[in-house]
Amino acid sequence: MIARMKPFMIIKDPKVAKLFADETRREILHNLRYREMTACQLAKLLGKNVSSISHHLSLLEKAGLVEQTRTLVKGNLIERYYRASAQKFIISYTLSEGLAPGSEDVLKWRREICRGAVEKAGLFGFEIPEEEKSKVQCLVEKYASLKHATLENVISRQKESSEIIKPEIRLLISLLTDAFLSQNDEYLQVIREICSEIGIEREDAG
């Protein structure tokens, strides 16, 4: 019998963490968080061929990120249904910072995400001069690092539970993460510098 889906799974193995660098695998995990699906259903949804999706599912299953829920036999066809092993996956801080052996690719992927965030700032009306982007990216990387470490700390405090994450739990986790960060002088300094660099000014009430 399949166990209930875990609310969180912290990824500490660099080989498993590398699987998240592939967009198709991230899309598969995203969809399997909400419902069980077959390789054929996923292939149709994601616009991929079935053999490719089956290969990704095999890798994810071996890594413990997805699991089979049931099997249906329709004539000569066997349909295997899968679901994600957890509702939320969190790559450990030690891996995202490249602090563990074999995690260099995870660090590179995280830096690419931060670079992309800086490049997309214009979508929200914050144009960053080309000569300032490198500095802002370093600040964004530091922000992401501090927030990631704090979030992992909050998640690790949760008592054993088999319940799916509910809205009130999501809110509580966000609140606790922000509360811890508000006590971190380094984090506050990074936020002030980011605001200064991209032109966010304080709006005083009244």
pLDDT digits (tens, 9 = 90+) for 23-71: 999 999 999 999 999 999 999 999 999 999 999 999 999 999 999 999 9
pLDDT (tens digit, 9 = 90+) per residue, 111-120?
A: 999 999 999 9
pTM of the model: 0.78
pLDDT at 204: 55
pLDDT at 206: 45
pLDDT at 1: 47
pLDDT (tens digit, 9 = 90+) per residue, 98-111?
A: 777 778 888 888 89
Residue type, 126: F
Element containing residue 147 per DSSP (H, E): helix 133-156
Average per-residue pLDDT for the chain: 90
Q: In the 3-class helix/strand/coil scheme, how is 12-59 assigned residue by residue?
A: CCHHHHHHHHCHHHHHHHHHHCCCCECHHHHHHHHCCCHHHHHHHHHH
Rg of the chain in Å (alpha carbons): 20
pLDDT at 154: 92
Residues of CATH 1.10.10.10 domain(s) within the chain? 6-88
**Residue 66 in contact with residue 60, Cβ under 8 Å?**
yes
CATH of domain 6-88: 1.10.10.10
